[in-house]
Amino acid sequence: MQKISIVWLKRDLRLHDHPPLWHAIHAGYPVLILYIFEPSLISAPQSDDRHWRFVWESLQDLTLQLQSFQASIEIFHAEALDVFEKITQDFQVQAVYSHLETGIGITFERDKRVSKFLKERNIDWFEFSQQGVQRGRKNRKGWRENWFAYAKTPIQEISLNKIQLISLSKEFHSKFHQKPIPESWKTPVKDMQKGGERMGWRYLKSFLDDRVKNYNWHISKPELSRTGCSRLSPYLAWGCLSIRQVFQASENKKEEGKSIR
């Protein structure tokens, strides 16, 4: 069986400032990048079609970025454990790389099941901290210093032309039952922000170039806040942008002499 590394996307829908992807590339094996739409998570009361439409749009943006490299992201609509079971039947998985997800009870329990499955097969799972979240702390001593150390860490550049990606066949996907992607996710909604890494950068740039000047005065005013807020919330929530990217872009603007508060 072919030896591969897996990058499991969750709330990190970007191709830059992505330590799991960077480490998978440098491990030296072909890389399978996957995203799993999990029915158990989709049906959770915290979920809504608006979330999954944003995720779908973000995945399409990543796919477009990878097109010129004859690569794509493998998208599944099934439970995570089922997907990993099928992949390990056809490939010799050397390691799984992902960000440590800060989610809800469903995702926490799912991660425990996947971890148990991988350990039983002697497959390493490397999880990387994201957004400066510090798990397991008993107090806030040193929290600020640790957060700024994370935010100021130089970003590891990822050369997409060096990625050797694995693409799965239609036959592989047909091996187990997958629900079709709902058409409502694929249908753009005019008044909703569109998902995607590149859209995230577009909003960040327009904020730092223009809207930031009104931030302090408008953010607490319902009518005016739309002209002064960053509009970055969904892009940070789903990892189209990282906190580190936003922090460093803001610091660079300050160095250019732009007032950012």
User: Between these two residues, 172 and 222, which has the higher pLDDT value?
Assistant: 172
Supply the pLDDT for residue 260. Answer: 58
Closest Cα partner for 18 from 173, 244, 201, 251? 244
Whole-number CA gyration radius for the chain: 19
Question: Contact, 172 vs 86, CB < 8 A?
Answer: yes
**Residue range 20-62, pLDDT digits in tens:** 999 999 999 999 999 999 999 999 999 999 999 999 999 999 9
> How far separated are the first and last CA of the chain, in Å rounded?
55
| Residue extents of the structural domains in the chain | 2-160, 197-255
Answer with the residue of higher pLDDT: 64 or 144.
64
Look at residue 205 in the predicted model and tell me its pLDDT.
95
Residue 261 has pLDDT above 60, yes or no: no
pLDDT above 60: residue 196 = yes
**107-119 per-position pLDDT tens digit:** 999 999 999 999 9
For residue 193, name the pLDDT band (cuts at 50, 70, 90): very high
In angstroms, the CA 10 to CA 198 distance is 18
pLDDT band for position 136 (50/70/90)? low
Q: What percent of the chain has pLDDT over 70?
A: 95
Just give the CATH number of 2-160: 3.40.50.620
- pLDDT digits over 76-131, tens only? 999 999 999 999 999 999 999 999 988 889 999 999 999 999 999 999 999 998 87
